[in-house]
Amino acid sequence: MSQELAEKIALVTGASRGIGKACATALAQRGATIVLNYVSNQDAAKVAKTELEAFGAKVLIVQGDVSIEDEARALVAAAENEFGQVDILVNNAGVNRDKTVQRLTGDAWREVIDTNLSSCFYTTNAVLDGMRERSFGRIIQISSIIGQMGNIGQSNYAASKAGMIAFTKSTAKEVARFGITVNAVCPGFVETDMVAALPDEIKQSLLSNIPLGRFGTAEEVGETVAFLCGPNGGWYTGSQLTMNGGQYM
């Protein structure tokens, strides 16, 4: 295993499973200390902690709902209190509440926007002072192909993920002079629990629109995040890294 991220403290939101867990794993495999955030599934968080510790990583579990500003800021404070700093922030926490615009409720709109988008502001704002002082930081939003191309029944989700991309670009311009990079990773359809639960006919329909003919993996997303945080990723900032098998170009 590489130690290219040794002595770096990485905070990953929504990291108890799926893409978040894969991001935490890829960073841990490169020597980073991990602050693993979860909102409700404590058992999954404990399993993830044990798996990451098998790589020799130090791991702190912190429960918190990052859609709530006070809890998001408390998460960053807990990481800084335990380890002194946050060098890498991966904003992965997200939900979807799919309905057509006509049927969408205000509560479903706000829940998705607050969880997916507002949380990025809360955590990023909270880590920037320390990153500026150290003249180093890596901030990554896990956005989505849906934020690039839109999708029926996902206006709230698409708006939140597109907002993450715009937030990334603006923040990147503001903080580049302090040695901080800000990027967005935009996966297409990835083999997660949500995709696995889809009926076979829906899966085949999705695959027919992917030129490479397969879904992505959470590990591929995690490796992309780790690259951006490593020594060869330092010239990327304000970027949206599109990884979707060619479904959207």
Residues annotated as catalytic (active site), given as ranges: 157
Residue 121 contacts residue 172 (beta carbons within 8 Å)? no
Residue 42 contacts residue 15 (beta carbons within 8 Å)? no
- Report strand pairing: 9-12 vs 33-38: parallel
Distance (Å, whole) CA 227 – CA 23: 11
Distance (Å, whole) CA 200 – CA 69: 39
The closest alpha carbon to 83, from 39, 45, 130, 51, belongs to 130
The closest alpha carbon to 60, from 71, 76, 72, 40, belongs to 76
Query: Rg (Cα) of the chain, in Å, rounded?
Result: 17
Cα 46 from chain centre: 19
